[in-house]
């Protein structure tokens, strides 16, 4: 089901850029997940920057949806970097018991872009995977897939 | 006193926004505002997921300490084992199982009353720093 207020996904070279500027309700978060994966598939994007600086809170549902999206994107050979989480959200997220395992994060769009460039050009070798136990990204990079 | 009825999924957002606004007006800092709105989001979602509908009452209270008291009531199936429901990662529906224990950690005080087949009331309190 398409929401009329769906979140725009911009393409910039080989990356996608998403800025969440609205308070996400659950179905919107699920729709965004679907839209991002679809756009990765359509555009063969190598990476996605998701700006959450306008999010006033990240609860377990939004946190899980973001983490799941990163894992799903990895199976499509794309990396996701979440940028701009505000400190109050970070504190609350950890107290809530969520760690966003397996998700790359950066302080802002500039740093997120640089990180994404490093990850996608180094094929993940030089960059420490944020979730070493779950090496989805590396496992999917089979020889000959590029 | 502020009342938000939870009937559909979007009402979760209405409840957490209302709680945050009141917390802000009462003088809570940004981190506490975020803790409060996140706890409300988790507990309002529990109402929606488990009971289908219910109510969230948000009130300023000064007993025993000055702060915010938020009451979540539903006439849903009730919680069979509150101790188990307070365990991190445990969930009887497809969710993360962070709701109750997470909301407890984000609050200064939590009470749960539940009766099978009758419903559940969860009360959380967040106190203003003295």
The pLDDT, as a whole number, for residue A138 is 40
Is residue A96, in this structure, part of any structural domain at all?
A: yes
In A, which residues are within 8 Å of B102 by CB distance?
A: 60, 95-98
pTM for the model stands at 0.86
User: How would you classify the pairing of strands B109-115 and B67-74?
Assistant: unpaired
Q: Which fold has domain B2-127?
A: Heat Shock Protein 90 (3.30.565)
Is residue A82, in this structure, part of any structural domain at all?
A: yes
The pLDDT, as a whole number, for residue B95 is 61
- Cα(B108)–Cα(B84) distance, integer angstroms: 20
Are the Cβ atoms of A91 and B42 closer than 8 angstroms? no
pLDDT tens string B63-104: 778 999 999 999 999 988 888 888 877 666 656 667 899 999
Is residue A33, in this structure, part of any structural domain at all?
A: yes
The pLDDT, as a whole number, for residue B27 is 95
Domain span including residue A13: 9-140
Are the Cβ atoms of B33 and A95 closer than 8 angstroms? no
Residues 4-23 in B contacting A (C-alpha not used; CB under 8 Å) = 9-10, 12-13, 16-17, 20
Q: How far, in Å, are B73, B76, B127 from residue A96 at the CA level?
A: 22, 24, 18
Are the Cβ atoms of A59 and B41 closer than 8 angstroms? yes
Closest residue, chain B, to A23 (C-alpha): B13
Q: Within 13 Å, how many C-alpha atoms sit on residue A94's CB side?
A: 7
Per-residue pLDDT in tens (0 to 9) along chain A, 146 residues: 444 568 999 999 999 999 999 989 999 999 999 999 999 999 999 999 999 999 999 999 999 999 999 999 999 999 999 999 999 999 999 999 888 877 999 999 999 999 999 999 876 454 555 654 444 444 434 444 43
Name the domain count of chain A: 1
Is residue A73, in this structure, part of any structural domain at all?
A: yes
Is residue A1, in this structure, part of any structural domain at all?
A: no
Is residue A41, in this structure, part of any structural domain at all?
A: yes
Is residue A2, in this structure, part of any structural domain at all?
A: no
Is residue A3, in this structure, part of any structural domain at all?
A: no
What the block records as the tokens of B43 is: 């507990």
The pLDDT, as a whole number, for residue B65 is 83
Q: Is the pLDDT of residue B8 over 70?
A: yes
Cβ(B86)–Cβ(B122) below 8 Å = no
Residue A99 sits in a domain whose CATH number is 3.30.750.24
Asked casually if ipTM beats, i.e. exceeds, 0.95, the reply is: no
The pLDDT, as a whole number, for residue A14 is 95
The whole-angstrom distance between A8's CA and the closest CA on chain B is: 20
Q: Where are the domains of chain B?
A: 2-127
Q: How far, in Å, are A2, A5, A15, A87, A126 from residue A113 at the CA level?
A: 29, 26, 9, 20, 16
Q: Is the pLDDT of residue B52 over 60?
A: yes
Q: Within 13 Å, how many C-alpha atoms sit on residue A14's CB side?
A: 11
């Amino acid at each position: 089901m398409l929401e009329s207020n769906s979140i725009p996904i911009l393409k910039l070279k080989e990356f996608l850029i998403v800025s969440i500027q609205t308070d996400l309700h659950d179905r919107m978060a699920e729709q965004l997940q679907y839209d991002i994966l679809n756009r990765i598939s359509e555009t063969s994007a190598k990476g996605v920057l998701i700006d959450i600086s306008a999010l006033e809170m990240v609860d377990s549902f939004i946190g899980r949806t973001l983490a799941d999206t990163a894992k799903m994107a990895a199976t499509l050979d794309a990396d996701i970097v979440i940028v701009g989480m505000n400190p109050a959200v970070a504190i609350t997220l950890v107290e809530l018991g969520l760690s966003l395992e397996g998700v790359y994060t950066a302080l802002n769009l500039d740093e997120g872009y640089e990180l994404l460039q490093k990850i996608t050009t180094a094929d993940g070798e030089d960059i420490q995977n944020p979730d070493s136990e779950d090496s989805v990204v590396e496992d999917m990079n089979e020889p000959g897939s590029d | 006193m502020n009342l938000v009825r939870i009937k559909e999924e979007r009402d979760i957002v209405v409840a957490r926004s209302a709680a945050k606004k009141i917390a802000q007006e009462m003088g809570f800092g940004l981190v506490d505002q975020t803790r409060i709105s996140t706890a409300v989001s988790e507990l309002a979602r529990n109402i929606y997921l488990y009971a289908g509908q219910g109510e969230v009452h948000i009130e300023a209270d000064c007993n025993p300490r000055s702060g915010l008291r938020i009451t979540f009531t539903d006439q849903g199936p009730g919680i069979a084992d509150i101790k188990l429901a307070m365990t991190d990662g445990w969930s009887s529906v497809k969710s993360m199982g962070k709701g109750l224990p997470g909301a407890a950690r984000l609050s200064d005080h939590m009470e749960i009353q539940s009766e099978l087949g009758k419903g559940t009331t969860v009360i959380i309190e967040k106190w203003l720093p003295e």
